Amino acid sequence: MAALSGIQIYKMLPQTNCKDCDFPTCLAFAMKLAAKQVELSLCPHVSEESEAKLSEASAPPVRPFALKSNGYEAKAGNEIVLFRHEKTFYSRPGLFLRVYDSQSAEEIKAKITPADEYMVDYVGIELEMGGFVVQANGGDFAKAVSTVRGISHRPLILVGGVDELKAGLATLNGDEKVMLAHATAENWEAMATLAKEHDAALAIEADSVDEMVALSEKVQGAGVKDLVLSPTQRGFNGTLTANTTARRMAIKKNFRALGFPIINFPGDVGSASREATLAAQAIGKYSGFIVLDNFSPEVAYALLVLRENIYTDPQKPIQVTPGIYEVNDPGPDAPVLVTTNFSITYFSVANEVESSGSPSWLLVTDAEGMSVLTAWAAGKFDAEIIAKQVKQFNVADKVDSMKIVLPGHTAVLSGELEEELPDWKVMVGPREAVDLPAFLKTAV
Ligand code: SF4
């Protein structure tokens, strides 16, 4: 069904303006529903007939679901825009490391363990791998699945023939949701049956858009809901074209047959460097699950940071909670350094102070997630606000030194801050966080 306009949706709503959905009018709610920014379930008064029509029209153009196991989730789908600046992307693509059943248990363990243990804190966000892929390659598939599950609790993608997948699934706890791959024009009925039996997501593989659409319709007709599109194209051009075509059709035309997350296999492209480059392309262009054959912390970090940069909401800066933070176990004689709650600002300052070894208090003010200069220009970081937060967080109770250090770019605030905080010695720090260690050693 083509997307409905706000007016078309409005005509199917009760039009009583009762406000139970927390919108002032049914029309306001209809407009939000048309933009796919709210759920139809917020209106408790919609008729059954309208609900049936609207549920389909208001469903996200890319079906959301998550692979799940033991508390881990790899979410995909739920995207509503083609370009991140139009609104935001929602479901970060998971990086999945692949092993083969032809590998020994020791080889599998050596490959899986460092990837499973990998976790890095990036501006307060934990970066980690999404899960693992076990691919049949002439070995003992069930044993390989069970070896991986013995090492990691992360979500799994199982790639093999129907019999191999059955054997692999038999080793798993039935509570988890895995992905099975691949349903093709030849085996789709048996694969669909298996996916339904295990409530698994099913990757469908096809060479062309037409074949993908035909397969998608057949598999959906067989009752499988959580599909994943797996284009056979593995190179740079082919992957880009296939991913972009499917996503454009889903979002611009609301074409349900292609409205599913996509899986790509950069691991099939050859060298580790080409694999990393193709994975970066897949992160930028619509992949939901990215299968790699190589793991190294430096490549994983680069890919996951790229992913964060693309998948954070451009309208919502990443923020840390305002408050008074301790760095290097400060006592009452330590200075108080002031900064804002924009994550990157906070972590730049905190990292430099921490590496300096100088005990310090860090007063993180609520600047709505803006950096120091932006917040100052927007009137969110001034002497009055800083003084208010000094009081709000009882900073004076923690320190005797009464030294408060402004960021160098806002030296202009020092006079006003002295007036606001007459008991404090107001100092001006360096303009750049990188100069904080020298400043703390010499000037404070
Ligand atoms: S709850 Fe339904 S009927 Fe009431 S205002 Fe919202 S959309 Fe209209």
Q: Are residues 120 and 195 in the same domain?
A: yes
Does residue 298 lie in a domain region?
yes
Percentage of residues of the chain with pLDDT beyond 90: 84
The per-residue pLDDT for range 201-254, each reduced to its tens digit, is 999 999 999 999 999 999 999 999 999 999 999 999 999 999 999 999 999 988
- State how many domains the chain has: 3
Residue nearest to atom 2 of ligand 1 (CA): 43
Residue nearest to atom 6 of ligand 1 (CA): 21
- Which atom of ligand 1 lies nearest, measured to the CA of 22? 6
Residue nearest to atom 7 of ligand 1 (CA): 26
Q: Report CA(12)–ligand 1 centroid distance (Å).
A: 11
Which of 21, 40, 58 is the last residue before a domain boundary?
Answer: 58
Does residue 369 lie in a domain region?
yes
pLDDT of residue 3: 67
Tell me which residue has tokens 């770019």: 409
Residue nearest to atom 4 of ligand 1 (CA): 18
The CATH code of the domain that includes 174 is 3.20.20.20
Beta carbon of 6 within 6 Å of any ligand 1 atom: no
Does residue 1 lie in a domain region?
no
Q: Are residues 104 and 45 in the same domain?
A: no
Q: Are residues 99 and 23 in the same domain?
A: no
Q: Are residues 376 and 262 in the same domain?
A: no
Beta carbon of 10 within 6 Å of any ligand 1 atom: no
Tell me which residue has tokens 């923020």: 319
Residue among 250, 240, 208 nearest 81 (CA): 250
Tokens for 130, please give them.
Answer: 């999404």
- Which atom of ligand 1 lies nearest, measured to the CA of 20? 1
Does residue 317 lie in a domain region?
no
The CATH code of the domain that includes 342 is 3.40.50.11600
Is a pLDDT exceeding 90 seen at residue 5?
Answer: no
The per-residue pLDDT for range 271-307, each reduced to its tens digit, is 999 999 999 999 999 999 999 999 999 999 999 999 9
Beta carbon of 21 within 6 Å of any ligand 1 atom: yes
The CATH code of the domain that includes 52 is 1.10.15.40
DSSP tag of 93:
P
Do the Cβ atoms of 154 and 177 come closer than 8 Å? no
Provide the residue range defining the domain that includes 283. Answer: 65-311
Beta carbon of 43 within 6 Å of any ligand 1 atom: yes
Does residue 316 lie in a domain region?
no
Beta carbon of 19 within 6 Å of any ligand 1 atom: yes
157 strand-pairing partners:
133, 179
Q: Are residues 139 and 271 in the same domain?
A: yes
Beta carbon of 33 within 6 Å of any ligand 1 atom: no
- Ligand 1 test: best mutation among 15, 17, 39, most atoms within 8 Å of CB? 17
126 strand-pairing partners:
121
Beta carbon of 14 within 6 Å of any ligand 1 atom: yes
Q: Are residues 280 and 386 in the same domain?
A: no
Q: Report CA(5)–ligand 1 centroid distance (Å).
A: 17
- Which atom of ligand 1 lies nearest, measured to the CA of 17? 5
Q: What is the mean pLDDT of the chain?
A: 94
Beta carbon of 17 within 6 Å of any ligand 1 atom: yes
The per-residue pLDDT for range 387-405, each reduced to its tens digit, is 999 999 999 999 998 999 9
Does residue 125 lie in a domain region?
yes
pLDDT of residue 2: 56
Q: Are residues 127 and 245 in the same domain?
A: yes
Q: Are residues 101 and 210 in the same domain?
A: yes
Could you tell me the pLDDT band of residue 371, with boundaries at 50, 70 and 90? very high
- Which atom of ligand 1 lies nearest, measured to the CA of 29? 7
The strand ranges marked E within 213-343 are: 227-231, 263-264, 289-292, 323-327, 336-340
Which of 58, 80, 95 is the last residue before a domain boundary?
Answer: 58
In the sheet where 425-428 sits, what is the strand order? Answer: 323-327, 360-365, 336-340, 403-406, 425-428
The per-residue pLDDT for range 324-333, each reduced to its tens digit, is 999 999 999 9
